[in-house]
Structures are given as structure tokens and as C-alpha cells.
Amino acid sequence: MFEIVDTHTHAISPDPARYPLAPVGGHQSEWSAKRPVDYDGLLKQMDAAGIARAVVVQASTVYGNDNSYVAAAVRAHPDRFRGVFSIDVLAADAVGQLQRWLDAGLDGLRLFTTGTTMPGQAGWLDDESSWPVWDYAQQHGVSICLQMTAAGIPALTGMLQKFPRSRVLLDHLARPDLAGGPPYESAAALFALAAYEGVYLKLTNRTIAEAGRGASTPAAFFPRVIDTFGARRIAWGSNFPAAEGALATLLDEAREALAFLSEADRAWIFGDTARAIYPGLAAKE
């Protein structure tokens, strides 16, 4: 049996004085206000679900680019958590901020270009001001997690051509529209990204829901995406607690959706791919 790694969790502190709100978009996300879970609560959910390790991803709709609580979670439980942080990649000191959070023990960068507090697709993904950060990440093997929509794929493609050794993980598979069903012409841009070896996909509850919308079914979509990218480039993430329900329930839903796969492929999606993207997950503290 393989160890399970969750690549997409969030943690919200119960102490707003110590960790003040500074959400992207100017207002806090509804999920974080209604059902916040701190890192100790996250750990309990992981234990109940049988999840060995998790990536705590910066809650941009709560803390913006202040990654202090993610860093606190990793410091408190380095044997269970790794951290992904956000910065303003257009800022003059962006590379310095990148180095600051890496030095604080965090593992990867998250670029938040869409979300509940910032709908649509931001136009700065390929802004020239961000190039030093992409170059640094490429040179030092820092994975970039992208919260984006399919509308941002052309900009991403340009960045991948400019920084071909980048390692990029697409949250929710870049939110493709799958309702038209097979042959998934509306997701052609997503499938085309398989040509870039550094592109990985994060399969979440959003992906599972979208795969069952309209004329699409999980049985039709998931074999197609796995045949295109391979299980070694796909990693599972729960999106807990932004996704409603217990972490164990979210894991069960993902297991059911991928039950058709071989155990070897499931081992990659539920753990090994995560360790390839974030090598710190493989370290024994």
C-alpha cells in the first residue's frame, strides 16, 4: 500500500491579531469565513483520512502574500506539512521575497490569477516584470503552482517557451470547460500542454465535479487526460477546507473517480507525483 499525499490544503489561523487578514481582491473568501480549519485541525483530518503528508497552500483569499501562517504550520509539523507561498511577482523586490519564503522553509511558489475573490483571468501572468522570478525558479528547481483558468493557457505557453525548464503545477487542471463531453474540443488547449514536460496537473474536487457535468463523465474524461499526460504528471489535491466535506470524504470521492486505474498509476497520482514536484515531501524530518 502506498502513502497518500494531499497537494492542496489550506489552513486558517483562529488568531486574526497575529495573522491579520489581507485577502487578494479586497474581501475574504466565503469558505474561509464560514468553515476555517487551523493547521492542527487539518492534521486531525489527515489522520482520520489516512493521509501521510500534505502541502499547505497559501490561502490567498485570506492572507494575500503574507505567508506567515503557512510557515508556522510547516515549523510546527515538518514531518507532515510542506508549504507553498505567494508573492507579488511584479514587485521590484520579487526575487528577494521569493528567497525570503524559501529560506523560511517553504517549498514552492503559487501564482493566484483567478478565484472567488478575483474572478476572470488576470492579465499579468506573462508580464515582463515577472520574468526574474520565473528565471530564478527555473534555475533553482522551484515549482510554480498556478491558480488560473483555461483563458490563461496562451500566456502560460509563452512563459514555458521562454523558460522551458520550468516545473508548473496547474490547480484544478486550469479549470477546463468539459460540459461538451468527448472528444473534449473545448479542452484542446489543456491537452496541448502535454508537449511541455514540465507541466503537471493537480486533480481536485473541482476537476471531479467538472468531469461529470453536461455530456462529460469521469469515465470518459479521466482516461483521456491520463493517456495524454501520464499518471506521473498528475497529482491529487483535496482543496480542503475550501471544498466542503470531511477530508476523508474528499479522498474517497477521488479514489472512486480513479478506481479504474492500476495500483501503480494510483500510487503516482496519490503520492509519488507530489514528491517529484515537491522533493521536500520525500525528506524524513
Total tally of structural domains belonging to the chain: 1
Q: Are 69 and 11 in contact (CB under 8 A)?
A: yes
Q: How far apart are CA 167 and CA 248, in angstroms?
A: 29
Question: Residue-wise pLDDT tens for the chain (285 aa)?
Answer: 789 999 999 999 999 999 999 998 888 999 999 999 999 999 999 999 999 999 999 999 999 999 999 999 999 999 999 999 999 999 999 999 999 999 999 999 999 877 655 666 777 799 999 999 999 999 999 999 999 988 899 999 999 999 999 999 999 999 999 999 999 999 999 999 999 999 999 999 999 999 999 999 999 999 999 999 999 999 999 999 999 999 999 999 999 999 999 999 999 999 999 999 999 998 765
The C-alpha atoms of residue 150 and residue 155 are separated, in whole angstroms, by 10
Query: What is residue 40's predicted lDDT score, i.e. its pLDDT?
Result: 98
- What is the residue range of 255's domain? 5-282
Condensed to tens digits (0 to 9), the pLDDT of residues 157-208 reads: 999 999 999 999 999 999 999 999 999 999 999 999 999 999 999 999 999 9
For residue 249, the domain's CATH number is 3.20.20.140
* 258 closest CA partner among 43, 2, 48: 2
